[in-house]
Structure 1
Amino acid sequence: MKRFLEYTNKDILALDKEDVEQYIFVLLHDQGSSHSYVNQALSAIKFFLQFVLKHKPLICEMPRPKKRE
């Protein structure tokens, strides 16, 4: 969450689905993070937004990256 919040540099209550999608894209394509790392980051963001901030489930339907074969 800390890395995500530093990346977005937005007020925590102003976060939206596009911020999450952009961050996931950066992790996968620009930083070359592993798919398992990206899934872990996505789970942490989802948990924080939904259960800590009580946001509506913004990213429930967001597809998770598949492991490369």
Structure 2
Amino acid sequence: MCDFTVYLEDDRDRKMVAKDILKARKKDGTVILMDAMGNITKVEAANIEVVDTLMQEMILKKT
């Protein structure tokens, strides 16, 4: 199974917002992340910038 560590970037830094994420979708300007246990993490005002399966990383960018 391929799970991701998700980072949020802005112009100055990068911070981890979630681990072991299996599903991501964007709805009304919010990125909704779900882990294997069904826990939801919402990231407001962000876009999915990069999904890297080799590094198991997803990069979100603040809008």
TM class by smaller structure: under 0.3
Give the number of the structure whose alpha-carbon radius of gyration is greater.
1
Q: Which has the higher helix share?
A: 1
TM-score normalised by structure 1 residue count: 0.21
TM-score normalised by structure 2 residue count: 0.22
